[in-house]
Structure 1
Amino acid sequence: MTIKIGRPKQSGTKQEPVRASLIEAAILCFSEYGFDKVSTRKVALAAGVDAAMIRYYFGSKTGLFSAAIQETLAPVLKQLQMDLSPNTPPNPLLLMQTYYRMIATSPMLPKLIQQVLNQPDNPQVFSILTGVIDNLLKRSEKWIDAFEQQHKINPNLNSEWVRLSFISLMIFPVLAPQYLQDQLGVKLKEDWLLDLANHNQTLLEQGLFTSPVIPVSNKNKGKLS
Protein backbone atom coordinates (compact mmCIF):
# COMPACT_ATOMS: atom_id res chain seq x y z
CA MET A 1 0.00 0.00 0.00
CA THR A 2 1.31 3.46 -0.92
CA ILE A 3 1.14 6.04 1.84
CA LYS A 4 0.29 9.52 0.59
CA ILE A 5 2.24 12.34 2.17
CA GLY A 6 0.39 15.35 3.50
CA ARG A 7 -2.62 16.38 5.46
CA PRO A 8 -5.75 14.26 4.92
CA LYS A 9 -8.73 15.83 3.22
CA GLN A 10 -11.07 14.86 6.05
CA SER A 11 -10.35 17.92 8.19
CA GLY A 12 -12.03 17.75 11.57
CA THR A 13 -12.14 13.93 11.72
CA LYS A 14 -10.46 11.69 14.26
CA GLN A 15 -7.27 11.89 12.20
CA GLU A 16 -6.67 15.54 13.15
CA PRO A 17 -5.94 14.85 16.85
CA VAL A 18 -3.30 12.36 15.67
CA ARG A 19 -1.51 15.14 13.78
CA ALA A 20 -1.71 17.48 16.77
CA SER A 21 -0.43 14.77 19.09
CA LEU A 22 2.56 14.17 16.84
CA ILE A 23 3.47 17.86 16.84
CA GLU A 24 3.16 18.04 20.63
CA ALA A 25 5.23 14.87 21.07
CA ALA A 26 7.86 16.14 18.61
CA ILE A 27 8.43 19.37 20.55
CA LEU A 28 8.70 17.40 23.79
CA CYS A 29 11.10 14.75 22.42
CA PHE A 30 13.27 17.10 20.36
CA SER A 31 13.67 19.52 23.27
CA GLU A 32 14.57 16.75 25.71
CA TYR A 33 16.95 14.66 23.61
CA GLY A 34 17.89 16.71 20.55
CA PHE A 35 16.62 16.35 17.00
CA ASP A 36 19.32 13.97 15.77
CA LYS A 37 18.97 11.62 18.74
CA VAL A 38 15.22 11.16 18.38
CA SER A 39 13.80 8.61 15.97
CA THR A 40 10.39 8.86 14.35
CA ARG A 41 9.48 5.71 16.26
CA LYS A 42 10.25 7.46 19.55
CA VAL A 43 8.07 10.45 18.63
CA ALA A 44 5.24 8.16 17.53
CA LEU A 45 5.50 6.20 20.76
CA ALA A 46 5.28 9.42 22.79
CA ALA A 47 2.22 10.43 20.76
CA GLY A 48 0.66 7.00 21.09
CA VAL A 49 0.31 6.44 17.34
CA ASP A 50 1.91 4.35 14.60
CA ALA A 51 5.21 5.69 13.24
CA ALA A 52 3.82 5.49 9.70
CA MET A 53 1.59 8.47 10.55
CA ILE A 54 4.64 10.77 10.59
CA ARG A 55 5.31 10.02 6.93
CA TYR A 56 1.57 10.25 6.21
CA TYR A 57 1.23 13.75 7.65
CA PHE A 58 4.71 15.27 7.38
CA GLY A 59 6.77 13.21 4.94
CA SER A 60 9.77 12.87 7.25
CA LYS A 61 11.19 13.72 10.67
CA THR A 62 12.46 17.02 9.25
CA GLY A 63 9.00 17.76 7.87
CA LEU A 64 7.57 17.10 11.32
CA PHE A 65 10.08 19.51 12.88
CA SER A 66 9.22 22.18 10.32
CA ALA A 67 5.50 21.81 10.93
CA ALA A 68 5.98 21.84 14.69
CA ILE A 69 7.92 25.13 14.61
CA GLN A 70 5.84 26.91 11.99
CA GLU A 71 2.43 25.90 13.27
CA THR A 72 3.26 26.54 16.92
CA LEU A 73 4.51 30.06 16.15
CA ALA A 74 1.72 30.73 13.63
CA PRO A 75 -0.55 32.66 16.07
CA VAL A 76 2.24 35.16 16.80
CA LEU A 77 3.03 35.63 13.11
CA LYS A 78 -0.66 36.09 12.39
CA GLN A 79 -1.06 38.71 15.11
CA LEU A 80 1.97 40.64 13.87
CA GLN A 81 0.54 40.56 10.34
CA MET A 82 -2.85 41.81 11.57
CA ASP A 83 -1.15 44.63 13.44
CA LEU A 84 0.56 45.70 10.20
CA SER A 85 -2.82 46.33 8.57
CA PRO A 86 -3.33 50.07 7.83
CA ASN A 87 -6.73 49.90 9.51
CA THR A 88 -5.48 48.20 12.69
CA PRO A 89 -3.22 50.08 15.12
CA PRO A 90 -0.45 47.91 16.61
CA ASN A 91 -1.46 46.37 19.92
CA PRO A 92 1.48 45.42 22.19
CA LEU A 93 -0.74 43.88 24.86
CA LEU A 94 -2.58 41.63 22.41
CA LEU A 95 0.71 40.57 20.81
CA MET A 96 2.18 39.64 24.21
CA GLN A 97 -0.99 37.80 25.20
CA THR A 98 -0.91 35.83 21.94
CA TYR A 99 2.75 34.98 22.45
CA TYR A 100 2.32 33.93 26.08
CA ARG A 101 -0.73 31.77 25.34
CA MET A 102 1.36 30.00 22.71
CA ILE A 103 4.13 29.44 25.26
CA ALA A 104 1.65 28.18 27.87
CA THR A 105 0.37 25.65 25.34
CA SER A 106 3.90 24.57 24.30
CA PRO A 107 6.15 25.29 27.33
CA MET A 108 8.95 23.10 25.95
CA LEU A 109 9.28 25.19 22.77
CA PRO A 110 11.75 27.73 24.28
CA LYS A 111 14.07 24.89 25.30
CA LEU A 112 13.92 23.45 21.79
CA ILE A 113 14.67 26.84 20.22
CA GLN A 114 17.66 27.35 22.52
CA GLN A 115 18.97 23.89 21.79
CA VAL A 116 18.84 24.26 18.01
CA LEU A 117 20.29 27.79 17.99
CA ASN A 118 23.12 26.98 20.43
CA GLN A 119 24.05 23.68 18.79
CA PRO A 120 23.44 23.97 15.03
CA ASP A 121 24.58 20.41 14.35
CA ASN A 122 21.89 19.89 11.73
CA PRO A 123 22.06 22.67 9.08
CA GLN A 124 18.64 21.80 7.67
CA VAL A 125 16.90 22.00 11.04
CA PHE A 126 18.85 25.15 11.93
CA SER A 127 17.77 26.74 8.64
CA ILE A 128 14.11 25.90 9.25
CA LEU A 129 14.13 27.49 12.69
CA THR A 130 16.11 30.59 11.76
CA GLY A 131 13.88 31.09 8.73
CA VAL A 132 10.82 31.33 10.97
CA ILE A 133 12.63 33.57 13.47
CA ASP A 134 13.87 35.86 10.68
CA ASN A 135 10.27 36.18 9.49
CA LEU A 136 9.21 37.18 13.01
CA LEU A 137 12.01 39.73 13.30
CA LYS A 138 11.24 41.32 9.94
CA ARG A 139 7.60 41.69 10.89
CA SER A 140 8.54 43.10 14.29
CA GLU A 141 10.69 45.74 12.57
CA LYS A 142 7.76 46.83 10.43
CA TRP A 143 5.59 46.75 13.55
CA ILE A 144 7.87 49.23 15.34
CA ASP A 145 8.00 51.37 12.19
CA ALA A 146 4.20 51.56 12.29
CA PHE A 147 4.39 52.89 15.85
CA GLU A 148 6.94 55.50 14.81
CA GLN A 149 4.78 56.66 11.92
CA GLN A 150 1.92 57.13 14.37
CA HIS A 151 4.25 59.13 16.68
CA LYS A 152 3.72 56.70 19.54
CA ILE A 153 7.39 56.11 20.31
CA ASN A 154 9.04 58.22 22.99
CA PRO A 155 11.27 60.65 21.05
CA ASN A 156 13.86 60.51 23.84
CA LEU A 157 14.57 56.84 23.05
CA ASN A 158 17.07 55.46 20.56
CA SER A 159 14.76 54.27 17.78
CA GLU A 160 17.23 51.54 16.77
CA TRP A 161 16.99 50.01 20.24
CA VAL A 162 13.23 50.19 20.71
CA ARG A 163 12.66 46.84 19.03
CA LEU A 164 15.49 45.27 21.04
CA SER A 165 13.97 46.55 24.28
CA PHE A 166 10.46 45.34 23.45
CA ILE A 167 11.56 41.89 22.30
CA SER A 168 13.83 41.51 25.34
CA LEU A 169 11.01 42.49 27.66
CA MET A 170 8.62 40.03 26.06
CA ILE A 171 10.76 36.95 25.48
CA PHE A 172 13.49 36.98 28.14
CA PRO A 173 11.37 35.37 30.90
CA VAL A 174 10.59 32.31 28.78
CA LEU A 175 14.06 31.94 27.27
CA ALA A 176 16.00 32.50 30.49
CA PRO A 177 17.95 29.52 31.89
CA GLN A 178 15.97 27.38 34.33
CA TYR A 179 18.03 28.62 37.30
CA LEU A 180 17.13 32.25 36.56
CA GLN A 181 13.49 31.35 35.99
CA ASP A 182 13.40 29.66 39.38
CA GLN A 183 15.10 32.59 41.12
CA LEU A 184 12.82 35.15 39.46
CA GLY A 185 9.66 33.13 40.01
CA VAL A 186 8.90 32.66 36.31
CA LYS A 187 6.07 30.22 35.63
CA LEU A 188 5.20 29.09 32.12
CA LYS A 189 1.51 28.94 32.99
CA GLU A 190 -1.13 30.92 31.13
CA ASP A 191 -2.50 32.87 34.09
CA TRP A 192 0.99 33.90 35.27
CA LEU A 193 2.12 34.83 31.76
CA LEU A 194 -1.01 36.88 31.07
CA ASP A 195 -0.43 38.77 34.32
CA LEU A 196 3.11 39.40 33.06
CA ALA A 197 1.68 40.74 29.78
CA ASN A 198 -0.44 43.25 31.72
CA HIS A 199 2.57 44.25 33.80
CA ASN A 200 4.67 44.74 30.65
CA GLN A 201 1.95 46.87 29.09
CA THR A 202 1.86 49.13 32.15
CA LEU A 203 5.64 49.31 32.07
CA LEU A 204 5.60 50.33 28.40
CA GLU A 205 2.97 53.01 28.97
CA GLN A 206 4.17 54.46 32.27
CA GLY A 207 7.85 53.61 32.55
CA LEU A 208 9.71 51.79 35.30
CA PHE A 209 10.70 54.65 37.57
CA THR A 210 8.87 57.71 38.85
CA SER A 211 10.19 61.17 38.02
CA PRO A 212 12.92 62.25 40.43
CA VAL A 213 11.61 64.38 43.27
CA ILE A 214 13.87 67.18 44.46
CA PRO A 215 13.92 67.31 48.29
CA VAL A 216 12.50 70.49 49.80
CA SER A 217 15.81 71.21 51.49
CA ASN A 218 17.57 71.22 48.11
CA LYS A 219 14.92 73.43 46.56
CA ASN A 220 15.54 76.07 49.22
CA LYS A 221 19.34 75.99 48.94
CA GLY A 222 20.77 79.23 47.71
CA LYS A 223 17.66 81.22 48.60
CA LEU A 224 17.97 84.18 50.93
CA SER A 225 16.08 83.81 54.20
Structure 2
Amino acid sequence: MNKINQVGRPTENKGHRDKLLIAARKLFVEYDYDKVSLRMIAKKAQVDSALIGYYFQSKFGLFMEMLKETAAPVSVQLEKAERNITIDSPEILMRTYYQVMSDNPDFPKLMFKIASMPNTDKNASFKDILAQTLRFKNTNIFSSMYEQGLLKEGTDPLCAQMSFFSMMIFPFLMPESIKSAMGIEFNSDFITKLAEQNSKLLLHGCLLDSSTGENNNDQHK
Protein backbone atom coordinates (compact mmCIF):
# COMPACT_ATOMS: atom_id res chain seq x y z
CA MET A 1 0.00 0.00 0.00
CA ASN A 2 1.10 3.54 -0.73
CA LYS A 3 2.02 5.73 2.23
CA ILE A 4 0.63 9.19 2.98
CA ASN A 5 3.27 11.85 3.67
CA GLN A 6 3.25 14.12 6.68
CA VAL A 7 1.23 16.90 5.02
CA GLY A 8 -1.52 14.46 4.06
CA ARG A 9 -0.65 14.11 0.37
CA PRO A 10 0.19 10.73 -1.15
CA THR A 11 3.71 10.17 -2.35
CA GLU A 12 3.81 10.74 -6.12
CA ASN A 13 4.14 7.49 -8.07
CA LYS A 14 2.82 7.11 -11.62
CA GLY A 15 2.78 3.34 -11.15
CA HIS A 16 0.07 3.70 -8.53
CA ARG A 17 -2.06 5.77 -10.88
CA ASP A 18 -1.73 3.13 -13.60
CA LYS A 19 -2.63 0.38 -11.14
CA LEU A 20 -5.81 2.22 -10.24
CA LEU A 21 -6.79 2.58 -13.90
CA ILE A 22 -6.17 -1.12 -14.55
CA ALA A 23 -8.09 -2.19 -11.45
CA ALA A 24 -10.99 0.13 -12.27
CA ARG A 25 -11.24 -1.17 -15.83
CA LYS A 26 -11.46 -4.78 -14.63
CA LEU A 27 -13.97 -4.07 -11.88
CA PHE A 28 -16.26 -1.86 -13.97
CA VAL A 29 -16.43 -4.59 -16.61
CA GLU A 30 -17.32 -7.23 -14.04
CA TYR A 31 -19.74 -5.19 -11.93
CA ASP A 32 -22.23 -2.37 -12.43
CA TYR A 33 -20.90 1.09 -11.62
CA ASP A 34 -22.90 1.36 -8.37
CA LYS A 35 -21.54 -1.98 -7.15
CA VAL A 36 -17.90 -0.88 -7.42
CA SER A 37 -16.62 0.92 -4.34
CA LEU A 38 -13.47 2.96 -3.84
CA ARG A 39 -12.30 0.35 -1.37
CA MET A 40 -12.72 -2.44 -3.93
CA ILE A 41 -10.69 -0.52 -6.50
CA ALA A 42 -7.92 0.32 -4.04
CA LYS A 43 -7.77 -3.26 -2.79
CA LYS A 44 -7.49 -4.68 -6.29
CA ALA A 45 -4.84 -2.11 -7.20
CA GLN A 46 -3.06 -2.72 -3.88
CA VAL A 47 -2.71 0.99 -3.16
CA ASP A 48 -4.13 3.40 -0.58
CA SER A 49 -7.72 4.45 -1.33
CA ALA A 50 -6.72 8.11 -0.74
CA LEU A 51 -4.90 7.96 -4.07
CA ILE A 52 -8.20 7.82 -5.95
CA GLY A 53 -9.14 11.25 -4.66
CA TYR A 54 -5.59 12.51 -5.20
CA TYR A 55 -5.37 11.46 -8.85
CA PHE A 56 -9.00 11.46 -9.99
CA GLN A 57 -11.02 13.43 -7.38
CA SER A 58 -13.77 10.78 -7.26
CA LYS A 59 -14.93 7.39 -8.50
CA PHE A 60 -16.68 9.13 -11.37
CA GLY A 61 -13.46 10.96 -12.25
CA LEU A 62 -11.56 7.67 -12.26
CA PHE A 63 -14.23 6.05 -14.42
CA MET A 64 -14.11 8.89 -16.94
CA GLU A 65 -10.31 8.93 -17.11
CA MET A 66 -10.20 5.15 -17.51
CA LEU A 67 -12.51 5.38 -20.53
CA LYS A 68 -10.55 8.23 -22.10
CA GLU A 69 -7.09 6.73 -21.63
CA THR A 70 -8.07 3.25 -22.81
CA ALA A 71 -9.74 4.59 -25.95
CA ALA A 72 -7.14 7.32 -26.62
CA PRO A 73 -5.12 5.45 -29.32
CA VAL A 74 -8.33 4.65 -31.22
CA SER A 75 -9.55 8.24 -30.88
CA VAL A 76 -6.25 9.53 -32.28
CA GLN A 77 -6.61 7.33 -35.36
CA LEU A 78 -10.22 8.47 -35.78
CA GLU A 79 -9.06 12.08 -35.80
CA LYS A 80 -6.38 11.29 -38.38
CA ALA A 81 -8.91 9.45 -40.53
CA GLU A 82 -11.31 12.40 -40.39
CA ARG A 83 -8.58 14.83 -41.48
CA ASN A 84 -7.21 12.69 -44.29
CA ILE A 85 -9.37 9.86 -45.64
CA THR A 86 -7.38 7.35 -47.70
CA ILE A 87 -7.93 3.83 -48.97
CA ASP A 88 -5.88 2.62 -45.98
CA SER A 89 -7.92 4.43 -43.30
CA PRO A 90 -10.20 1.48 -42.34
CA GLU A 91 -7.27 -0.94 -42.09
CA ILE A 92 -5.19 1.42 -39.95
CA LEU A 93 -8.12 2.10 -37.66
CA MET A 94 -8.99 -1.58 -37.34
CA ARG A 95 -5.40 -2.61 -36.61
CA THR A 96 -5.11 0.13 -33.98
CA TYR A 97 -8.37 -0.94 -32.35
CA TYR A 98 -7.35 -4.60 -32.29
CA GLN A 99 -3.93 -3.73 -30.88
CA VAL A 100 -5.45 -1.62 -28.09
CA MET A 101 -8.13 -4.18 -27.27
CA SER A 102 -5.69 -7.09 -27.28
CA ASP A 103 -4.23 -5.45 -24.17
CA ASN A 104 -7.73 -4.67 -22.82
CA PRO A 105 -9.94 -7.49 -24.18
CA ASP A 106 -12.78 -6.77 -21.75
CA PHE A 107 -13.04 -3.06 -22.58
CA PRO A 108 -15.50 -3.58 -25.50
CA LYS A 109 -17.78 -5.39 -23.03
CA LEU A 110 -17.75 -2.29 -20.85
CA MET A 111 -18.57 -0.07 -23.84
CA PHE A 112 -21.44 -2.38 -24.77
CA LYS A 113 -22.67 -2.39 -21.17
CA ILE A 114 -22.71 1.42 -21.05
CA ALA A 115 -24.39 1.75 -24.44
CA SER A 116 -27.06 -0.78 -23.38
CA MET A 117 -27.98 1.01 -20.14
CA PRO A 118 -31.63 2.09 -19.78
CA ASN A 119 -32.28 5.71 -20.71
CA THR A 120 -32.29 7.44 -17.34
CA ASP A 121 -30.88 10.78 -16.20
CA LYS A 122 -28.24 8.97 -14.19
CA ASN A 123 -27.12 6.75 -17.07
CA ALA A 124 -27.11 9.66 -19.52
CA SER A 125 -23.86 10.96 -18.04
CA PHE A 126 -22.12 7.64 -18.66
CA LYS A 127 -23.41 7.48 -22.23
CA ASP A 128 -22.26 11.05 -22.81
CA ILE A 129 -18.76 10.14 -21.64
CA LEU A 130 -18.67 7.17 -24.00
CA ALA A 131 -19.95 9.24 -26.93
CA GLN A 132 -17.43 12.01 -26.26
CA THR A 133 -14.60 9.52 -25.90
CA LEU A 134 -15.26 7.59 -29.11
CA ARG A 135 -17.25 10.26 -30.97
CA PHE A 136 -19.59 7.78 -32.68
CA LYS A 137 -21.25 10.43 -34.83
CA ASN A 138 -17.93 11.20 -36.50
CA THR A 139 -16.75 7.64 -37.11
CA ASN A 140 -18.49 6.90 -40.40
CA ILE A 141 -15.39 7.19 -42.53
CA PHE A 142 -17.10 5.17 -45.25
CA SER A 143 -19.41 8.07 -46.10
CA SER A 144 -16.36 10.20 -46.83
CA MET A 145 -14.77 7.35 -48.77
CA TYR A 146 -17.95 7.03 -50.82
CA GLU A 147 -17.88 10.74 -51.66
CA GLN A 148 -14.25 10.40 -52.75
CA GLY A 149 -14.99 7.39 -54.96
CA LEU A 150 -12.92 5.01 -52.83
CA LEU A 151 -15.60 2.33 -52.49
CA LYS A 152 -16.40 -0.36 -55.02
CA GLU A 153 -19.44 0.25 -57.17
CA GLY A 154 -22.63 -0.91 -55.48
CA THR A 155 -21.20 -0.62 -51.95
CA ASP A 156 -23.56 1.09 -49.52
CA PRO A 157 -21.46 3.25 -47.14
CA LEU A 158 -23.78 2.74 -44.17
CA CYS A 159 -23.79 -1.04 -44.66
CA ALA A 160 -20.00 -0.94 -45.03
CA GLN A 161 -19.76 0.96 -41.75
CA MET A 162 -21.99 -1.62 -40.06
CA SER A 163 -19.81 -4.45 -41.36
CA PHE A 164 -16.71 -2.59 -40.21
CA PHE A 165 -18.02 -2.12 -36.67
CA SER A 166 -19.18 -5.73 -36.51
CA MET A 167 -15.69 -6.90 -37.41
CA MET A 168 -14.16 -4.64 -34.79
CA ILE A 169 -16.47 -5.23 -31.85
CA PHE A 170 -18.07 -8.68 -32.07
CA PRO A 171 -14.89 -10.77 -31.59
CA PHE A 172 -14.46 -9.18 -28.15
CA LEU A 173 -18.13 -9.70 -27.20
CA MET A 174 -18.25 -13.31 -28.34
CA PRO A 175 -18.97 -15.61 -25.35
CA GLU A 176 -16.03 -17.68 -24.18
CA SER A 177 -18.07 -20.89 -24.52
CA ILE A 178 -18.54 -20.27 -28.25
CA LYS A 179 -14.86 -19.41 -28.74
CA SER A 180 -13.90 -22.60 -26.95
CA ALA A 181 -16.33 -24.70 -29.00
CA MET A 182 -14.81 -23.27 -32.18
CA GLY A 183 -11.28 -23.96 -30.96
CA ILE A 184 -10.39 -20.26 -30.79
CA GLU A 185 -7.64 -19.23 -28.40
CA PHE A 186 -8.22 -15.51 -28.13
CA ASN A 187 -4.67 -14.29 -27.59
CA SER A 188 -2.60 -11.46 -29.09
CA ASP A 189 -1.33 -13.64 -31.97
CA PHE A 190 -4.85 -14.63 -32.98
CA ILE A 191 -6.09 -11.04 -32.69
CA THR A 192 -3.25 -9.86 -34.96
CA LYS A 193 -4.15 -12.49 -37.57
CA LEU A 194 -7.83 -11.61 -37.31
CA ALA A 195 -7.09 -7.93 -37.89
CA GLU A 196 -5.08 -8.79 -41.00
CA GLN A 197 -7.77 -11.09 -42.42
CA ASN A 198 -10.62 -8.68 -41.70
CA SER A 199 -8.65 -5.90 -43.38
CA LYS A 200 -8.37 -8.10 -46.48
CA LEU A 201 -12.12 -8.81 -46.39
CA LEU A 202 -12.79 -5.07 -46.38
CA LEU A 203 -10.32 -4.44 -49.16
CA HIS A 204 -11.66 -7.14 -51.46
CA GLY A 205 -15.32 -6.67 -50.54
CA CYS A 206 -15.82 -2.90 -50.23
CA LEU A 207 -12.74 -0.89 -51.15
CA LEU A 208 -11.16 -0.14 -54.48
CA ASP A 209 -7.87 -1.80 -55.29
CA SER A 210 -5.56 1.21 -55.61
CA SER A 211 -3.05 -0.85 -57.57
CA THR A 212 -5.48 -1.14 -60.50
CA GLY A 213 -5.94 2.59 -60.88
CA GLU A 214 -9.70 2.01 -60.73
CA ASN A 215 -11.76 5.08 -59.84
CA ASN A 216 -15.43 5.28 -58.98
CA ASN A 217 -15.86 9.04 -58.80
CA ASP A 218 -18.19 8.94 -61.80
CA GLN A 219 -20.78 6.90 -59.89
CA HIS A 220 -21.50 9.88 -57.59
CA LYS A 221 -22.05 12.45 -60.35
* Structure 1 and Structure 2 fold alike (TM over 0.5): yes
1:86 paired residue number: 84
Whole-Å Cα distance in 1 between the matches of residues 159 and 85 of structure 2? Answer: 26
Pairing 1:155-174 to 2, within 5 Å after superposition: 155-174=153-172
2:137 paired residue number: 138
State yes or no: 1:106 paired with 2:96.
no
- Structure 1 residues 175 and 87, CA, compared in 2 at 3 Å: closer, same or farther? closer
The SS at the match of 2:42 is helix
> Which digits, 9 at most, give the CA deviation of each residue in 1:132-172, with x for residues without a partner?
3464322212x223312331112212233221111112211
Q: Unpaired segments of 5 or more residues in structure 1? A: 9-13, 209-225
Whole-Å Cα distance in 2 between the matches of residues 171 and 95 of structure 1? Answer: 13
Deviation at 1:33, TM superposition (A): 2.4
Pairing 1:114-193 to 2, within 5 Å after superposition: 114-120=112-118, 123-124=121-122, 127-133=125-131, 135-141=134-140, 143-193=141-191
Q: Which has the larger radius of gyration?
A: 1
Deviation at 1:27, TM superposition (A): 1.0
Percent identity between matched residues is 33
TM-score (norm. length: structure 1): 0.76
User: RMSD over aligned Cα, in angstroms?
Assistant: 2.8
Whole-Å Cα distance in 1 between the matches of residues 96 and 65 of structure 2? Answer: 19
- Structure 1 residues 136 and 203, CA, compared in 2 at 3 Å: closer, same or farther? same
Q: Unpaired segments of 5 or more residues in structure 2? A: 1-6, 207-221
Runs of 4+ in 1 over 6 A off after TM superposition: none
Count the aligned residue pairs: 199
Deviation at 1:131, TM superposition (A): 3.7
Whole-Å Cα distance in 2 between the matches of residues 121 and 185 of structure 1? Answer: 38
Deviation at 1:35, TM superposition (A): 1.5
TM-score (norm. length: structure 2): 0.78
Whole-Å Cα distance in 2 between the matches of residues 104 and 126 of structure 1? Answer: 28
